[in-house]
A and B are shown apart, each in its own frame.
Chain A
């Protein structure tokens, strides 16, 4: 079994014909959709945005499915498309609004991502990170990926991932310390 649950036999079947590539793609993407939606949700902090990003990424992936030479890399490939889609959205939006914990009563019950990211000091600090830093944190700590796998998904060298993680951790520490100081006043 390889990452994402694709077994070796599926790889072989996937390369047999265009039709089986489509079928394999559909099976794998159906299997991945919850993970993609969740990843997008924790990156974007909003369920509606996550739905849009996931649909966009799935559509892009579907259009580009024939460029995926090795279906065993499906998960990493799809993640990369999804992360790019989310990054584009975050860069364009830049300002990500998260509801204060005090306003928790007004949180839409149907948005688990907002609720999660507003429900804890650390989570709120993560939500305030710049997109480039937030992505590595979510991939590292929620997706539980090692640096190399994150680098693969972001299309950058592992050293870049490390430096971003370093910067992210530093920013989180500063943010939490700032919160603590304000609370102490």
Chain B
């Protein structure tokens, strides 16, 4: 019998060409507007923080993967993208050793210790961010004011927390919050730039609309509820959407693939709960912004939310 000359394999015989690298590349592109505005307002400090974060994240990834005997997967860009997102959640003054500590925690406790990308139950960026918040609280609020006349060096949510809703209008305008002419973490100041990046992620189908939209709906509706009852004491839902980390968290953190649900209903509930908890922490919590803590906490529910399955065809 002559040897078969054709290749035989299981279906499908074609592939769409999607890859982790493409997903990560699109996430990088989506963050470019926020990076550009960060550089515009905070200058070279922004570039310094981003370069240290991305390079150290990739380096830790390579070192830890080598030590653990795994194939080196730096080229899929997931380490670099995590580094960039962490950089977006740091003040422009962040010292280099703090950034490197953060990226080490992020890659080790956020990823490699569980067996690498995909197996991590939590968002590695948020593990690192929470560790930095608790370890170096002073450095994490060492704000840098953008150039220009400035009434306050406090962030919008700090003003809300410590001075009250009445002081917001003195210091901030809606357009200022949109453009990002405030103090805060490098990447979260400009709502508009983050929305542009978020829209790109949705158009390229990197993330589903369900988590970001339900997240922002949760923030808007829950804060709106209190604003309607007493607008003297509570800030408007629009302020809650634009100030702090709402949009950053909705598009770039809550959508972290391994730690967020995959079922349609699970995604909607997850996003909505993140939004509600964000406002709960802002109104009654010890921190002025609750967006990142909210995502970190709600991701504990992901395995449970994934049990809310769609109705299967024919059942």
**Chain A partners chain B:** no
Interface residues of A (CB under 8 A from B): none
